[in-house]
Amino acid sequence: MRSADAGASAIARFWNLFFRPGEWLLLRFSRLDYARWPILWVIGIFLVQAVPATIIRASNLEEGRIIAMARGAMEDGHWIAPFVYGERFAERPVLLAWITALFGEMTGGVTLWSLRLPHLAFFLAGALMIYSLLRSNTGKSAAIFGALCWISMPLVAPKFINAEADIVLATLLFGAFCVWWQAACSKNITWLTWICIGILLGLAGLTKGPQPVAYFTLGVGAYVILKQRDQILGFIVANMLSGAMVAGWYLLVYEKPSDVDYWAVHSRLLTTTGLDLVRDHLDFVKSIAVEMLPATILLGPAMVIVLRQWRTGKHDLMLAATLYALECTLVLVLWPGGVAARYAMPATMALAVICGLMFEHCRLTQPRLIASALVVTYLIFGGLLARGWIAMPFWPHLFKGSEIAGNEIASVVRESPGPLYVIGTSTEHNMLVYVPGKIRAVTLDYLAKLNTAAIAVMLPEEERALSQLNPGIKTTDLAEIGPQKSRYRIVRIEFAGAR
């Protein structure tokens, strides 16, 4: 009896610590149904995460490479086949780099903001699409909750300070989903609708290659087969149009058999085998379970609802969103090569829609379930606020390493008449974002054969290897940059007989 009483007491304490505050939060959040301008809540939630974090954070992760490709397009004319400081980059099409270059053309040069402003525009558009789609099917608070869930997902939230192609890809694919769904609901799906969908899918394919388009193809395709078979022909035409757009890029750019191997590596077909493959995929499942919170809490109950009632038509949007989110994600779980959680980014927008629909459907009948998801969302959102409004403003140097290094390089090479040389296989691209003028990625063999003085950025071991390749070279260290001022060196290279 005592153990039973102790168990009941523990449950009661857990209830008081978690569910009662959660139900209070749910009650307060539900009052947004009376908001006069609910869309302003979505915009405000977005802006409070974007500012000041986006302003403070220096270029990081893939941003440097995207800007390098944009500079290659604007400065050197490499618009179709991407180049990274003179090195061909035929891995995949790069729509975000092209957008960045176009924005740089209009504003007088490619900068970090040439990338981040268009990226943030796609990000905000994605949040507003989630809100709009939910608002046509739910109340105001449920629609705001769906948008909040997307902005707060750990897989999505880092994109406020990391402008990569994932958000652009997810927004374009979800845009195609929204166009299809709204037309199908209004019974007004025409050939023009399918052409618009095909173009959106084609642009998505030109963002990161054709593979992620499968989120629409598999998810919507499954729904069409189950519920709307009269749409099959238009669905096929839209996918053929998008396939033609993406295939056109590959036909224009791929010139040699090794390019196909390049594509296979990018598609993660040749990278992981054996036990490493098993560990990689188990890590993928674990990662998305955590990084897709709070949707992870609500997805199971949502699947039960659609499995029981998919024939009735009562939860058609939830069925469509579930198929969209899960079909291709399951393919990733079974993919024969390496995978990463970010590959499931397109699923996050459909999951946010599921969160909003579950909020509307269950907040009265299962308040504990919704309260749990809401508490988790608030905790994640609060952590993001602390990062953006406390950690970053008070310790900005922790988030500006690439900018500090880039400014040091810029100050050294400002008076140099020639290009800055970097070693293409090892140089950190993010610090080069802040260096104006020509930059060329080369090999050590190339530098060893130069017959004029030059300035280069390289690692200490690369400097030693260069001297071994050509003993007639004299190198002078002008500055050290990077972590603890010891990772990279800015080197003046002089040659015997150089003029």
Question: How many domains are contained in the chain?
Answer: 2
Q: Residue 1 — very low, low, confident or very high, per pLDDT cuts 50/70/90?
A: very low
Pair (306, 225) in one structural domain: yes
Asked if residue 250 lies in contact with residue 304, where contact means CB atoms within 8 angstroms, the answer is no
Asked if the structure places residue 302 within a domain, the reply is yes
Asked if the structure places residue 21 within a domain, the reply is no
At 361-377, the pLDDT tens digits run 988 888 888 998 999 99
Most confident of 268-272, 406-410, 423-427: 406-410
**Lowest-confidence region among 1-10, 115-124, 233-242, 381-390:** 1-10
Instruction: Give the residue with greater pLDDT, 1 vs 25.
Output: 25
Pair (349, 473) in one structural domain: no
Look at residue 12 and tell me whether its pLDDT is greater than 60. no
The CA distances from residue 26 to 152, 181, 183, 358, in Å, are 17, 29, 33, 13
Q: Provide the pLDDT for residue 8.
A: 46
Asked if the structure places residue 31 within a domain, the reply is no
Q: Provide the pLDDT for residue 334.
A: 82
- Over range 318-340, report the average pLDDT: 86
Backbone torsion region of residue 97, taken as left when φ is above 0, otherwise alpha when ψ lies between -120 and 50, otherwise beta: alpha
Q: Residue 13 — very low, low, confident or very high, per pLDDT cuts 50/70/90?
A: low
Q: Provide the pLDDT for residue 40.
A: 95
Q: Residue 499 — very low, low, confident or very high, per pLDDT cuts 50/70/90?
A: very low
For Cα atoms 312, 347, 38, give the angle at the middle one, nearest 5 degrees.
Answer: 75
Domain holding 487, by residue range, is 401-495
Pair (171, 306) in one structural domain: yes
Q: Provide the pLDDT for residue 496.
A: 64
Domain boundary among 343, 375, 394: 394
- Over range 82-92, report the average pLDDT: 87
Asked if the structure places residue 7 within a domain, the reply is no
Q: Rounded CA gap, 228 and 242, in Å?
A: 21
Q: Residues in the chain, how many?
A: 499
3-state per-residue secondary structure call for 440-460 = EEECHHHHHCCCCCEEEEECH
Pair (378, 419) in one structural domain: no
- Over range 144-159, report the average pLDDT: 94
Residue 404, Cβ density class (10 Å: 0-12 exposed, 13-18 middle, ≥19 buried): middle
Look at residue 325 and tell me whether its pLDDT is greater than 90. yes
Pair (369, 287) in one structural domain: yes
Look at residue 329 and tell me whether its pLDDT is greater than 80. yes
Look at residue 81 and tell me whether its pLDDT is greater than 50. yes
- Over range 154-165, report the average pLDDT: 92
Q: Rounded CA gap, 1 and 206, in Å?
A: 66
Q: Provide the pLDDT for residue 91.
A: 83
Pair (237, 308) in one structural domain: yes
Instruction: Give the residue with greater pLDDT, 262 vs 68.
Output: 68
Asked if residue 130 lies in contact with residue 321, where contact means CB atoms within 8 angstroms, the answer is no
Q: Provide the pLDDT for residue 17.
A: 52
**Three-state SS at 479:** strand
Domain boundary among 366, 394, 422: 394
Q: Rounded CA gap, 311 and 308, in Å?
A: 8
Strand-strand pairing, 420-423 and 439-442: parallel
Q: Give the helix/strand (H/E) hosting 87.
A: strand 87-88
Asked if the structure places residue 3 within a domain, the reply is no
Q: Provide the pLDDT for residue 152.
A: 94
Q: Rounded CA gap, 281 and 490, in Å?
A: 41
Pair (311, 368) in one structural domain: yes
pTM: 0.90
- Over range 84-104, report the average pLDDT: 91
**Three-state SS at 472:** coil
Pair (319, 203) in one structural domain: yes
Average pLDDT for the chain: 87
Asked if the structure places residue 19 within a domain, the reply is no
Domain boundary among 349, 369, 394: 394
Q: Residue 437 — very low, low, confident or very high, per pLDDT cuts 50/70/90?
A: confident
Pair (331, 435) in one structural domain: no
Pair (221, 310) in one structural domain: yes
Look at residue 332 and tell me whether its pLDDT is greater than 70. yes
Asked if the structure places residue 10 within a domain, the reply is no
Q: Give the helix/strand (H/E) hosting 439.
A: strand 439-442
The CA distances from residue 186 to 183, 349, 372, 408, 466, in Å, are 5, 22, 35, 58, 67
Backbone torsion region of residue 424, taken as left when φ is above 0, otherwise alpha when ψ lies between -120 and 50, otherwise beta: alpha
Pair (443, 487) in one structural domain: yes
Q: Provide the pLDDT for residue 267.
A: 64
Q: Provide the pLDDT for residue 365.
A: 87
Q: Residue 42 — very low, low, confident or very high, per pLDDT cuts 50/70/90?
A: very high
What end-to-end distance do the CA atoms of the chain give, in Å? 95
Look at residue 224 and tell me whether its pLDDT is greater than 70. yes
How many separate helices (H) and strands (E) can be counted in the chain?
23, 7
Q: Provide the pLDDT for residue 305.
A: 92
Residue 484, Cβ density class (10 Å: 0-12 exposed, 13-18 middle, ≥19 buried): exposed
Asked if the structure places residue 1 within a domain, the reply is no
Pair (390, 408) in one structural domain: no
Q: Residue 464 — very low, low, confident or very high, per pLDDT cuts 50/70/90?
A: confident
